[in-house]
Amino acid sequence: MELRKIQDADVAEKTVLVRVDYNVPLKDSEVLDDRRIRASIPTIQWLLDHHAKVVLISHLGRPEGKVVEELRLDPVAASLEAILDRRVFKLNDCAGEVVSKTVAEAQSGDVLLLENVRFRREETINEPSFTHELANLGELFVNDAFATMHRAHASTVGVADHLPSYAGFLVQAEIEAIEPLISSPQHPYVAAVGGRKAQSKLGPLHDLAPKVDEILIGGGVAMTFLHAMGIDVGASVVDHKVLEEVGVIRRIAEQSKTSLLLPVDVVAARELSDESETVICSLHEIPAGWHAFDIGPETIRLFSERIIQAKMFVWTGPMGAYEHEAFSNGTKQLGEALAQSSAYSVIGGGETGEAMERFGVSKHASYISTGGGACLALLRGKTMPSLEALRA
């Protein structure tokens, strides 16, 4: 995929708008996980080294077009300032007369961070006048927010329609990491799909089924699949709205000769708590009223075997409620299986990437994407509006 790249742009003494993804977890006004902030540093530093004025645009959370005090970007600015070891000028809005004046008066070498762009309703609908306001702040546009590339928003697609636009170093790295899975897949090609909600994973499963050899299904997604197959999963969460689509995916997999591997045993409990009594049981022995919160040891063994034998591996969604120690083993052990595998592996960001970091197994992956949804959209062959805007 040929893109216009930041390193091909003349940025000296120019104001460069940079769309970054600082949608990071916060607690008590502090950033809990700064990986996405650190991922933006190569692009920001390159611009500073080439004497640009840098204006950063990001969102945080889902304020739905309203100002939500807890979603202001001040903690992000503090974290970025510490990482860059230089002043970051945080603004209290993302557009308007005060913002325009502040940006215009800033100097080359300054770093400015606009307020949460999703405080404006116009952002997510790519409203033309708001897009013009943003674009008028700069002379060039760099998109380095890979996790938002499947969104057609004002700060991604809209601005790119009005300014010379380039891919930042993170976007370039993401595309280069994912591209081999698309253009030259090696077999066995194995996918692992987990997470709490089945609905968000059915589209990817639908499109991945004809492309891979095996799909390992865990988490809440597996419970919905098993329920659709007539298996009693106790009180485990099941997405009843998508049961028909599960049948469609199973038929596609059968026609494609793709194996769908589901759990054969689970770790179950009455409630999601580290203090809960737990039991390891087969699928057919989940106690009435209990929930399956992780895959069991036999499933871990079966899934790990497939990962170890794979030549290519992509994983999105944890195998269980990994944030609780009692239900973390499935996700952790699949990460450990990568250490024994020679597979080229891409982990689809979000919770899976966070879990890999938490368990110290991220080093076993070939690449951990910063954007689960965007990574899957690219693998599925979906058109990504923000990426199309950067094509050479």
List the CATH number of the domain containing 75.
3.40.50.1260
The answer, yes or no, to whether residue 197 has pLDDT greater than 90, is no
Statement to judge: residues 192 and 262 lie in one domain: yes
Whether residue 388 lies inside any domain: the answer is no
Q: Which of 36, 53, 118, 151 is catalytic?
A: 36
Average the pLDDT over 137-164 and give the result: 95
118 and 216 inside one domain: no
The single residue of 4, 14, 197, 358 carrying the catalytic annotation is: 197
- pLDDT > 90? residue 350: no
DSSP SS3 for 214:
strand
Catalytic-residue membership of 197: yes
Residues 372, 5: Cα–Cα separation, whole Å: 23
The one catalytic residue among 350, 353, 371, 372: 350
373 catalytic? Reply is: yes
- Give yes or no: residues 15 and 54 share one domain: yes
- Is 36 considered catalytic here? yes
Token pair in block for residue 261: 């591997």
For residue 392, is it within any domain? no
Let me know if 350 is a catalytic residue: yes
CB 241 within 8 A of CB 227: no
Q: Which residue segment(s) compose the domain that 374 sits in?
A: 185-379
Q: pLDDT tens digits, residue range 107-126?
A: 999 999 999 999 999 999 99
Q: Is the pLDDT of residue 68 over 90?
A: yes
* SS3 at position 189: strand
Determine phi and psi for 56, rounding to 5 degrees: -95, 135
Cβ partners under 8 Å of residue 378, min gap 6: 149, 175, 178, 182, 384, 387
Same domain for 20 and 89, yes or no, is yes
Are residues 158 and 280 located together in one domain of the fold?
Answer: no
Q: Is the pLDDT of residue 354 over 90?
A: no
Whether residue 347 contacts residue 356, with contact meaning beta carbons closer than 8 Å, is answered with: yes
How many residues does this entry show for the chain? 392
C-alpha pair distances (Å), 211 with each of 186, 205, 248 = 11, 10, 16
**Same domain, residue pair 32 and 164:** yes
Residue 178 domain flag: no
Q: Do both 165 and 266 map to the same domain?
A: no
Same domain, 166 and 221: no
Phi, psi of 365, rounded to the nearest 5 degrees: -85, 145
- Flag whether pLDDT at 373 surpasses 90: no
Put residue 138 in one of left, alpha, beta given phi > 0 → left and psi -120 to 50 → alpha: beta
How confident is the model over 251-271, as pLDDT tens digits?
999 999 999 999 999 999 999
